[in-house]
Amino acid sequence: MVAVTLNHYILLASVLFGIGAIGFVTRRNAIILFMSVELMLNAVNLMLVAFSRFKADMAGQVMVLFIYAVAAAEVAVGLAILISLFRHVKGVDINRFNLLKH
Amino acid sequence: MDIYFWFFALVAVASGIFMVTAREPLPGALGLLTTFISLASLYLHLHAPLVAIFQITIYAGAILVLVVFVIMLLMTPDEELSVRQYNLSYKSMGAIAGVAMTALLLVGVRGIACIVGEKAMPSDFGQPGLIGKLLYSDFLLHFEVVSVLLLVALVGAIYISKRNL
């Protein structure tokens, strides 16, 4: 079995990002859409940490900590918007979120 | 150490696919939790113990609990949460877009990796003390901006979720 290199981690992170992207486009449940975005953020984090390890540069790990803060802010605001929308349309199906269309 | 990488990479991809294809959001959240924990194990493999700890406490601890809380809050028995995208064009376009995005990312980042090359790792790599030093010297401005961002998000979340908006 070959040794684990940077390319293995790039492949893994790309596949995870692709799974998140496919889930974001094909699902209709707003909560699962939300979790797909989290998966994509995690794929980018994995890529940053892998580059940090194989380039021997600690700045990548510091950037991941900043991404954690941004993700926490995104989740707080996003879920608040979701609850507010749920009160208006009584559902989490994104095809019913068409208030701006009409 | 190779089997360690392959095991957790397989678990991460499998639980990611499970999360995306789950009929109900709650099993999907559990799949996402499995992905987070296996990614934390991979961070340990990459000599990033502090990032692994934050992955568990922030993602698996705080963010996922918030998501599960919202699922419990919004899930009513008569609500059709498991309805899928029946329109085939969404599915096919989504699959094409996802695969194309993965391929593009893979080729692009692999090219970047070829350009920047690899370096030997120093013996004290990944020590939390070094991350703290970087955080309060080179990244001090970013640190302050992120703290303001968190404050704004806090105020915004409270304002949006007020009952009579």
Closest-CA residue of B relative to A33 is B20
pLDDT at B113: 81
Apex A21 CA angle, B76 and B98, nearest 5: 135
Closest-CA residue of A relative to B78 is A91
pLDDT at A65: 93
How many whole angstroms from its chain centre is CA B33? 10
Q: What is the Cα–Cα distance from B103 to A2, expressed in whole angstroms?
A: 22
Predicted TM-score (pTM) of this structure: 0.89
Looking at the complex, report in whole angstroms how far the Cα of residue A88 sits from the nearest Cα belonging to chain B: 11
> Per residue in B21-59, pLDDT tens?
888 888 999 999 999 999 999 999 999 999 999 999 999
pLDDT level of residue A73 (50, 70, 90 thresholds): very high
pLDDT at B89: 76
A32 vs B25, B55, B66: nearest CB: B25
Q: Using a CB-CB distance cutoff of 8 angstroms, which residues of chain A are in contact with residue B63?
A: 38, 71-72, 75
Q: What is the 3-state secondary structure (H, E, C) of B10-66?
A: HHHHHHHHHHHHCCCHHHHHHHHHHHHHHHHHHHHHCCCHHHHHHHHHHHHHHHHHH
Size of interface A-B (CB pairs under 8 A): 246
Q: What is the ipTM of this complex?
A: 0.90
